[in-house]
Amino acid sequence: MAMAAKKRPENERSIVLNHRFEHRITVARFGKESMDAGNYANALLKYNEYFRIMADVKQVKDAYSLTPKNFDPKKDLREMLMMSHLYFEMARIYDASPRFSEEAKKCVDQFVLFSIDQPYQVINSELARKSLRKRSFKNPKFFRDAYEQIFVKSKRCYIVTFCYGDTHPITNQYRKLKDLLLEYKAGQELVRIYYSYSSRAVENWKGNFFMQVFAKIIIRPILLLFSKTLLPLIIK
């Protein structure tokens, strides 16, 4: 009898949590509608409600304790993308008030955490870049650092990595070239354009036998030739 009585509240909590989880997208949508309407207080209320649901489901302390490891990247990719954008919008709201700069930083950090090495990384780097161009932040360093971590400091060199792998010496050589380019404004724009197009290209190439053969026969030798001739002169 005692065991049955103990299990009853647990079952009830599980039912309530499942119900909340089933309605989480609706909660997030209400937050987005409030955000678009300029009702930032209600947007923040709904976004925090969404993250409380996710924290409870994943059995972590709060919204800032959630990590990509709590999710299945194959099944939960859309949810993770949405979460990263909600963190970013919360950061924007908190940033408007100096009292909440700590919360803004936490949200920006979560945005970065849910962006790095994800398939939508380039999308989020563009989100951060465009926001920095269009908006005046009270804590611009938070958002600038986020952009640099997601985009500029990423170790990924899409086409080179596709051809040679992540740890090949030639891949590391091209990373050094990228680091050199990033020291100059024109170089930063060149890297940004390269990432924007190469990331999409590589995603399409992965399942394309013809492009895999093309990369092996044509692109690899070109990259190798450049790395043995001009590249050492540039990054010496």
Q: Which of 144, 92, 88 is nearest to 120 (CA)?
A: 88
Per-residue model confidence (pLDDT) at position 156: 65
80's tokens: 């993770």
The model's confidence at residue 87, banded by pLDDT at 50, 70 and 90, is very high
Handedness of CA 68, 74, 76, 81 (dihedral sign): positive
Burial 103-118 (b: 16+ CB within 10 A, else e): bbbbbbbbbbbbbbeb
The whole-number average pLDDT for the span 56-61 is 96
Which pTM was predicted?
0.71
Q: Assign 155 a pLDDT band (cuts: 50, 70, 90).
A: low
Q: What are the extents of the domains in the chain?
A: 1-154, 158-236
Mean pLDDT, rounded, for 206-231: 90
* pLDDT of the residue at 153: 63
Query: What's the pLDDT at 117?
Result: 81
Burial of 231 (0-12, 13-18, 19+ CB in 10 A): middle
Distance CA 32, CA 38 (A): 10
Average pLDDT, the chain: 88
pLDDT of residue 5: 45
60 contacts 66 by C-beta, under 8 angstroms: yes
Tokens of 229: 């001739």
Task: Identify the three-state secondary structure at position 32.
Answer: helix
pLDDT at 218: 93
pLDDT level of residue 191 (50, 70, 90 thresholds): confident
pLDDT at 15 exceeding the cut of 50: yes
List pLDDT tens digits, range 101-125: 999 999 999 999 999 988 788 789 8
The rounded percent of the chain whose pLDDT value lies above 70 is 94
Tokens of residue 200, six digits: 């999409």
pLDDT digits (tens, 9 = 90+) for 219-231: 999 999 999 998 8
Q: Check residues 179 and 40 and name the one with the higher pLDDT.
A: 40
For residue 154, the model assigns a pLDDT of 63
Q: Is 68 exposed, middle or buried (0-12, 13-18, 19+ CB in 10 A)?
A: middle
User: In the predicted model, what is the mean pLDDT of residues 149-175?
Assistant: 81
Cα 182 from Cα 188, distance rounded (Å)? 5
Least confident of 47-56, 60-69, 148-157: 148-157
DSSP letter assigned to residue 218: I
> Mean pLDDT across the stretch 63-72?
96
Give the count of alpha carbons within 13 A of 102, CB side only: 1
Average pLDDT over residues 13-18: 90
107's enclosing H/E stretch is: helix 101-113
Nearest CA to 159 out of 100, 77, 87, 227 is that of: 227
Query: Distance between CA atoms of 194 and 187, rounded to whole angstroms?
Result: 10
